[in-house]
Each structure stands twice: as C-alpha cells, then as structure tokens.
C-alpha cells in the first residue's frame, strides 16, 4: 500500500457528481483523480491504474457499489486498496453493512465540496493505520 495519498479513483453513475468531486479533490485537495461512470469499468481502471484510494457510490444501476466493492476485494491487484462509500444511504443498518464489508469509511451525500478533501484524507489515514 502506498505511504501517501495522491491518486484517487471515483466511481459514480452521475456525471455531475463526478465533475464536482473532481473539482473538489483536484483543485482544493491537490489529488490526481480518475473517474468512472460504472462499477465494472471502475474495477478495470483500479487494477490498471492502482489508485491509493477508491471512492464509490452505493446506488448505481447494473453493478452497485456493494457489488463493485466485492469485485475489488476479489481481485488480487485491488484487494488492498481502501474503499470509501459515498452515499445518501446512511441509516445505522446500512452503515453496519458497509463496515461489515470492510469499507474504509462512508462519506454522506450530499457532501460539502470544501470539506471533501479533508474527509478523504482522514478516511485514508484511518484505513492505512
């Protein structure tokens, strides 16, 4: 696992969310960001690009965030990359499910663009300790 957080992969089916995340994390956070619109592509890109952290939406058509997470864990090339769910689904039972899967953290949507870089840094630090 990388000792610093530079490269982040964000998977979300909403192009507007991806654009906002990209602006927030690149312009404010200084990260390099790669975006994908669906889970299968995200898994392929993660294996090829080897990001330091993956952000994924939970509610996506076809391959949702839970299935994406499981595919990432089953792939030797991506099994150790911390994954953070970005979702509006934050009832306690859902948070318990994400924790049980092994998610590094959960960032609630809607998120604060100004705070997102720090939330991501905190999630990554907690995942690699």
The residue segments making up the domain with residue 28 are: 7-128
The proportion of the chain whose per-residue pLDDT surpasses 90, expressed as a percent, equals: 89
Q: Examine residue 2 and state whether it is found in any structural domain, yes or no.
A: no
What are the residues whose beta carbons fall under 8 Å from the beta carbon of 87, sequence distance 6 or more? 57, 58, 59, 65, 94, 106, 107, 108, 109
Q: Examine residue 12 and state whether it is found in any structural domain, yes or no.
A: yes
Q: Which of 33-37, 72-76, 91-95, 121-125 has the lowest mean pLDDT?
A: 91-95
Q: Examine residue 58 and state whether it is found in any structural domain, yes or no.
A: yes
> What is the Cα 45 distance to its own chain's centre?
13
pTM metric for this prediction = 0.95
Q: For the segment 102-113, what is each residue's pLDDT rounded down to a tens digit?
A: 999 999 999 999
Q: Examine residue 19 and state whether it is found in any structural domain, yes or no.
A: yes
Q: Examine residue 1 and state whether it is found in any structural domain, yes or no.
A: no
Better-scored residue on pLDDT, 74 or 92: 74
CATH for 45:
3.40.50.2300
Query: How many domains, in total, are found in the chain?
Result: 1
């Amino acid at each position: 696992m990388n000792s610093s957080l530079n490269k982040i992969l964000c998977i979300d089916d909403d192009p507007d969310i991806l654009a906002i995340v990209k602006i927030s994390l690149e312009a404010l956070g200084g990260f390099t960001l790669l975006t994908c619109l669906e889970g299968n592509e995200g898994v392929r890109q993660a294996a090829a690009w080897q990001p330091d952290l993956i952000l994924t939406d939970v509610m996506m058509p076809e391959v949702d965030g839970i299935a994406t997470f499981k595919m990432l864990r089953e792939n030797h090339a991506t099994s150790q990359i911390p994954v953070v769910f970005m979702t509006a689904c934050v009832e306690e039972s859902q948070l318990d499910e994400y924790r049980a899967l092994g998610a590094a953290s959960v960032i609630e949507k809607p998120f604060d663009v100004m705070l997102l870089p720090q939330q991501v840094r905190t999630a990554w630090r907690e995942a690699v300790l």
